[in-house]
Amino acid sequence: MQRFVNNPDDIVDETVRGFIKAHADLVKLHPEHDRVVLSHQAGQRGRVGIVTGGGSGHEPAFLGYTGRNMVDAVAVGELFSSPTGKAFTEAVRAADGGAGVCVLYGNYAGDNMNVKLAQRMAAKEGIEVLTVVANDDVCSAPPSERAKRRGVAGEILMWKVGGAKAATGASAREVQIAAQKAIDACRSVGVGLSPCTLPANAVPNFEIAPGKMEVGIGHHGEPGMEVIDLENADSVADRMFDIVLDDHDLDAGDRVCVLLSGLGATPINELYVLYDRVANRLAEKQIAVHRPFVGNYFTSLEMMGATLTIMKLDDELASLIDAPAACPAMVVEARENQK
């Protein structure tokens, strides 16, 4: 495939530099670590710091969620590879304003280890570091092994809730509880239509044959539930919807936040085609969409496909999702006629 690329080894550094230049109103580079992106709010006295991080190639995740009342500091890894323990440590230090830090991240082996390293380093300096590990990807493990599930786009809603909770002046423990509640309320599924290729490699990381789709695919092409013939959009939307709903505890009268994200190469209009069907299915079941997000929120290089995340809301989660926030990937403005 054709790409905009210089030396593939430099692609992450160049991405970060361009990102900082484009969004200087909201973010800055850590002065001493070029793989840590900071919100201008980072380290504010008395407010719990929110940290995340992960491999690159998922833009706008992870760095795009750095901003006001969102994530304070993001550790940036190589493409599809966890950031270093050092990067997480510097992110934690920069985010700490004396009230502790919550690291809200996804369930991947490298991230688990590098966050653990950062926790050890920070503990030596007396910084309180609490963690929440996202595991919203339904197809990555059965419900009985939920702790093994990967974190995917539900992480965004977890950051939104965590950032909003921290902005209320809550304690680190309270922020951790709210973020845990947020991810526990999320279920996600992905469908892949084509593979993706690391720019330094000549061949794709995995295969999806023409005319096929992979249901339940992960954010790096991890194998899903099944590979089947490509169907029309409504059938794909139904399939995604049913996988999420079967794993969820949703009844008529419930409220949800819906996040439908492209995986990188799928045109945005096709996401709206999927969302049209998903919204209809929710309406049929008398489940109210409190707030939808449709767009490229969490991608996988140039994979074609989409993920669907549905988060069940109670009053607390709804108000935290609605709280004003601004980051390059997402802006939530105050509603004038809020109930």
Partner 1 sequence: MSKLPTNGGGAIVRAIADVIVENRAYLSEVDGKIGDGDHGNNMAKGFARAKERISDDASLGEAMHIVADVLMGEIGGSMGPLYGMFFDDMASAADNREYLDKQAVGDMLEAGCQGVMAIGEAKPGDKTLLDTLVPAIEAFRACDQDLHEALKALKHGAEKGRDATTDMVAKVGRSSRLGERSRGVPDAGATSCCMILTAFADGAARRLV
* From 15, 44, 112, 171, residue interacting with partner 1 (rule: CB under 8 A): 112
Q: Give the whole-angstrom CA distance, residue 137 versus residue 119.
A: 25
Query: Strand, coil or helix: what is 293?
Result: strand
Query: 109 vs 252, which CB is nearer to partner 1?
Result: 109
* From 40, 59, 98, 117, residue interacting with partner 1 (rule: CB under 8 A): 117
Q: Note whether 163 binds partner 1 by CB under 8 A.
A: no
Size of the site for partner 1 (CB under 8 A): 27
Strand order across the beta sheet in which 288-295 lies: 226-229, 212-215, 186-192, 305-313, 255-262, 288-295
Instruction: Determine the interface stretch with partner 1 among 66-74, 154-162, 193-201, 275-283 (rule: CB under 8 A).
Output: 193-201
Q: Give the whole-angstrom CA distance, residue 142 versus residue 163.
A: 29
Cβ contact 62:53 at 8 Å = yes
Query: 223 vs 292, which CB is nearer to partner 1?
Result: 223
Active-site residue, 290 included? no
Tell whether the torsion through CA atoms of 317, 321, 325 and 328 is positive or negative: positive
Estimate the share of the chain in helix, then strand, then coil, as percent rounded to the nearest 5: 35, 25, 40
Q: Note whether 84 binds partner 1 by CB under 8 A.
A: yes
Q: Note whether 204 binds partner 1 by CB under 8 A.
A: no
Q: How far is the CB of 204 from partner 1 (least distance, A)?
A: 11
Cβ contact 111:151 at 8 Å = no
* From 37, 87, 259, 274, residue interacting with partner 1 (rule: CB under 8 A): 87
Q: How far is the CB of 287 from partner 1 (least distance, A)?
A: 31
Tell whether the torsion through CA atoms of 99, 100, 101 and 107 is positive or negative: negative
Residues at the site binding partner 1, with contacts judged by CB under 8 A: 77-78, 80-87, 108-110, 112-114, 116-117, 140, 198, 200-201, 205, 218, 220, 222-223
* Active-site annotation, residues: 58, 220
